[in-house]
Structure 1
Amino acid sequence: MTLRHLLRFAGALLLVSASGLAFATPPRAFTATYRVLRDGSPMGEATVSLKALGNGQWEYSKHMRGTAGLAALLGANLDEVSHFRWKGDVPEALSYDYRLDAAIKSRQRHVAVDWSKHQVTVDEGKGAITYATQPGMVERNTTALAIGMALRDGQKQIALPVAVRQAVETQRFKVTGKEKVTVPAGDFDTVRVDRTDADRGFSAWYAPDRYPLPVKLSQKDGGNLTMELVSFR
């Protein structure tokens, strides 16, 4: 191999390596706040944050507080905390804790992932359920972040293995168009993403060149809820 060929080969390797590093760069730690509406009326506020814990682990949390209407009257609070590791640009699940507290009911769920045993354990206080892991598996709390990372990488159709109560199910999402969206944080040119594998009424609007989270999210499963971005830092 001549010197010219060696230089070309080295340059090609450098380009591939640099592209790979950029492709798999995780987002920086952030805190985002949202206003939450139910059927178009203010219901509460949510804070979503991401931070590095060290040793390759990250924490992604969502804290929602009822501040208006029935949610405030019932003192409804929702806390979700996920621990994960990055596998490329996928937030691969390590654990997930869900807790809902309100005057009339409370609910909790703990999900633990043992990758050495390839086992997921789900406990809602009524006896644990176990099932097999899948590589690149996320859970319900980190799904929005996983979609945002896939969009940042240019994907238009996204299939995510998601750990739910009794199994890992493949959830499918698709970019269905571009729309201008106005939320408290401002005006955004967004791509709209809809879930396509089930009639769950999930739609989200992302500005993937700016944020890894949606600027607006609408979900009808469990109530006609909308989250609109207020600030991101």
Structure 2
Amino acid sequence: MANLIPARLLAAGLALAVSTSPAWAATPAPAPFTATYQVLQGGSVIGEAVVSLKATGDGQWEYSNQTRGTAGLAAALGANTSDTTRFRWNNGAPETVTYDSRVNAFKVKQRHTQVDWNSKQVSVDEGKGPDTYAAVPGLIDRNTTSYAIGLALRDGKKQVTLPVAVRKNVENQQYKVAATENVNVPAGQFKAERVERTDTDKAFSAWYVPGKYVVPVKLAQSEGGGLTLQLVKYEGR
């Protein structure tokens, strides 16, 4: 059951080293939105994910991914995940300040990530004591990965490297546009750019429409149960 709605997929999906690139300097401030997705496994809808971005009023932003099981075993067991990131907007780029993840399936699993930008230290605690390591400019977390990819595509990038805070270190994840394809999802039919991760052999694909949305219209990943997310509705504010 723990594989039905894994936090790593919903964050990768449902998430930059290029923060030092001149393209980021032209990036406008974050725009609030709410995106609703179907969560599918084996072609059947098993849940719903709601991804949202809002200003917190203190110069930071909150990026949230809330998922719940709505059918089958996922619904029967009340499976749900909650991923919430607070980030700052620094020189036209997001940088994680805190990230909290909670997965409730057979058992509850939690993770808290804190980035102290004064001391440039990252602390990651899964309940057994924190792991600490050095932060790098433009550091994000797995929850905001898909959002960071969308921002890079909006700025005209075709490939990007993201410094992502994982449990014990910074992982430089690499993504590139592999093709342009027609995609049908509940929100409509789109000509989308298919993005693949290139630094691992674990299958990951996300389809973006950069001129319209900063989050994917579809996301699929083999790891963690073979889930697919499809956009149902997007509301910008």
- Decide: shared fold, TM above 0.5: yes
Greater relative contact order (Cα < 8 A, sep 6+): 2
Distance in 2, Cα, partners of 1:187 & 1:41: 20
Amino acid at match of 1:55: D
**Structure 2 residues not aligned, in runs of 5+:** 1-21
Distance in 2, Cα, partners of 1:164 & 1:21: 23
Alignment of 1:73-84 (within 5 A): 73-84=76-87
1:201 CA drift (Å):
1.0
Residue 221 of structure 1: aligned partner: 223
Residue 110 of structure 1: aligned partner: 112
Structure-2 change in CA distance of 1:136 and 1:62 (3 Å): same
Match of 1:154, SS? coil
Identify which of 198, 201, 208 aligns with 2:200.
198
Distance in 2, Cα, partners of 1:27 & 1:186: 24
1:39 CA drift (Å):
1.9
Amino acid at match of 2:141: E
Does 2:99 match 1:62? no
Residue 178 of structure 1: aligned partner: 180
1:21 CA drift (Å):
9.7
1:89 CA drift (Å):
4.2
For the pair shown, the structure with the greater C-alpha radius of gyration is 1
Structure-2 change in CA distance of 1:210 and 1:27 (3 Å): farther
Distance in 2, Cα, partners of 1:44 & 1:160: 28
1:37 CA drift (Å):
0.4
Does 2:228 match 1:231? no
How big is each residue's C-alpha offset from its partner over 1:157-213, in whole Å with a ceiling of 9 and x where there is no partner?
A: 110000001100100001001000000000011000000000121100000100000
Residue 125 of structure 2: aligned partner: 123
**Structure 1 residues not aligned, in runs of 5+:** 1-18
1:20 CA drift (Å):
8.1
Does 2:96 match 1:93? yes
Structure-2 change in CA distance of 1:223 and 1:131 (3 Å): same
1:56 CA drift (Å):
2.0
Structure-2 change in CA distance of 1:21 and 1:175 (3 Å): closer
Contact between 2:25 and 2:91, CA under 8 Å: does it hold in 1?
no
Residue 19 of structure 2: aligned partner: none
Contact between 2:218 and 2:231, CA under 8 Å: does it hold in 1?
yes
1:22 CA drift (Å):
8.5
Amino acid at match of 1:42: V
Contact between 1:147 and 1:158, CA under 8 Å: does it hold in 2?
yes
Contact between 1:173 and 1:196, CA under 8 Å: does it hold in 2?
yes
Contact between 2:38 and 2:230, CA under 8 Å: does it hold in 1?
yes
Distance in 1, Cα, partners of 2:189 & 2:200: 30
Aligned-residue sequence identity (percent) comes to 57
Match of 2:56, SS? strand
Distance in 1, Cα, partners of 2:118 & 2:25: 29
TM score, norm. by length of structure 1: 0.88
Structure-2 change in CA distance of 1:215 and 1:161 (3 Å): same
Contact between 1:89 and 1:150, CA under 8 Å: does it hold in 2?
no
Distance in 2, Cα, partners of 1:194 & 1:23: 25
